[in-house]
Amino acid sequence: MTIYSYTLAPNDAPPLGLVILQTDETIERDMRRLLGDAPLYVTRVPSAPEVTSDTLQQMADEISGAAALLPQALEFGVIGYGCTSGTAQIGPDQIASLVNAGATTKNVSEPVSALIAACQHLGIKRMAFLSPYIAQVSDRLRDVLDEAGIQTPVFGSFAEAIEANVVRIDATSIIDAARDLCADAQLDALFLSCTNLRTLDVIAPLEAELGMPVLSSNLVLAWHMSQLAGVPFSSLGRLA
């Protein structure tokens, strides 16, 4: 056997990590669309097929272990936790602590902090809120937003708790619900909640029709992660 010497190449860009739900069929594809060629490493956390406050809270016990399955040799520029309602239930600070317990990263993001940062960036104070989930799940997030100075005076929901159904809510249903929700309301923006809801392709047509920013969980999370890690972001709609 001949043994050869070698040199180690540096990382081309800060690696990004993403902890997503076992049941999520949407976020991974969306994040790769929005973050382009950025090195993105994904792990999954066990999650229940039905979304309730209790099942969301249960994920807190699994997040550190899921983060630990990311490549341990890497120091990440940012690790995102991909669950909007889960973050509101567990709390952004606790999410950051749990992720940091499992992996080495300079920053942690999740859709709640990302949404607040995006609203501050765009000057949004009053938002329509469209969620796939029952009110009990969404009310906690609305409270968190209110504490951050972002009002959600109109709220609409598909009242669906089963994730396998959430991901299959079609574009026409989302557009029709958003149009009705925003009719005759004085608003700065519309927010489409849930990382599993297929929203990216409805953002541009809704912005054109409604004449205001349309944000989604995956859109704001990708934007915030790009800001924290200093990597390119494929801007969509008015968030750039």
pLDDT in tens, 36-80: 999 999 999 999 999 999 999 999 999 999 999 999 999 999 999
Q: What 8-state DSSP symbol labels residue 46? A: -
Which residue blocks in the chain are alpha helix, DSSP H? 27-35, 53-58, 63-67, 84-90, 92-102, 111-122, 135-147, 163-166, 171-182, 200-210, 217-229
Q: Mean per-residue pLDDT for 171-190?
A: 96
pLDDT for the residue 214: 98
The architecture of the domain spanning 112-216 is: 3-Layer(aba) Sandwich (3.40)
**How far apart, in whole angstroms, are the C-alpha atoms of residue 104 and residue 89?**
24
pLDDT cut 70: percent of the chain above it = 100
The architecture of the domain spanning 16-111+220-229 is: 3-Layer(aba) Sandwich (3.40)
Domain range annotation of the chain: 16-111+220-229, 112-216
pLDDT cut 90: percent of the chain above it = 91
Average pLDDT, the chain: 95
pLDDT for the residue 238: 87
pTM here?
Answer: 0.96
Which strands make up the sheet holding 126-131, listed edge to edge?
A: 151-157, 126-131, 189-192, 214-216
CA 186 to chain centre: 26
pLDDT in tens, 119-150: 999 999 999 999 999 888 889 999 999 999 99
| Environment class of 71 (CB within 10 Å of its CB; exposed 0-12, middle 13-18, buried 19+) | exposed
